[in-house]
Chain A
Amino acid sequence: MSITQILFWFLSVLALFSALMVITSKNPVYSVLWLILVFFAISGHYLLLNAQFLAIVNIIVYAGAIMVLFLFVIMLMNLNKSNEPQKNKWLKLAAALAGGCLLLVLVAALKNAETKSAIAESGTGDIGLIGNLGKALFNDYVVPFEISSILFLSAMVGAVVLGKKEASSHPSGEEA
């Protein structure tokens, strides 16, 4: 077993275990922290594939920014056992059914997928390096890239509009 394989198995087990802990933890703050660990394990996988840029961006964006916002919201909501909503029995059944269907679809899709050409090049591939990735993004995929940036812009404008205070009928600042 080479060092790459050892690392692969370690990271896989870590990722799966933390993912399980995410859904089994009672405390939502612990769930978020386990989720961060999942992201780290996935970043480790990216590193094994020599995709350093993807690995670090995964950490910056997901672990460093999005999860912090998640943590914010959860910490401020102060979720306790006492105000946990009562779950319906039928709701649980429906959720299990839906999840099972999703699993079925995934398995079916992966079974027919071509695996030979898409085999991972561990440590040797250079598709994930920043130069190649940038060239691919700005040459072959420039239109989708720009469209997604417009999508983000519109989302940002929407957030600003939502977050803006309504202009009150009698401004309090001028009276004083």
Chain B
Amino acid sequence: MVQLTQKAKLVDRRQMSWLERIYLWNILKGMMITLSHLFKRKATINFPEQKRYFAPVFRGLHVLNRDEEGRERCTACGLCAVACPAEAITMEAAERLPGEEKLYREEKYAARYEINMLRCIFCGLCEDACPKDAIYLSQTFAPSNYSRKGFIYKKEDLLIPNPLTDPEDYKKALGDRPAKKINN
């Protein structure tokens, strides 16, 4: 048979020598291998204290974005819900009333915005679909929960902290994500 790759290893079917047949020597060799691992660097980290570095392109938990003045960017256009392959996003639109210009950026906003984190596959298509830079995937992952209900994230869970009232948390939540270019 023609060997296609170099990875295949032929099984040695020769008779075992006396030294191999009493196994003690081979057992010793194996034990030396395990012993050497005693002094190797550990592959794991102490998780809650230490955290692994996530790349900026990491797709974690969703965040509903605000602009610099703390207004919600989302206009409830529904493009993200359409783009979502897992159908995890539902929303309800509402019209901005006079006096709410400080809260919402455009005339239309999402009164209800829910993502079912059990359905979500964290593909990031919602982020790609969004024309207003209103939703993006952050560098944290969804924490565990005791009930299915808890995995349906409401708008309060998703919204980024207000940059005007809570600038520090806003900075932290935003991370080192470059702002997406939008056409207003």
Q: Do chains A and B touch in the complex (CB under 8 A)?
A: no
Residues of B within 8 A of A (CB): none
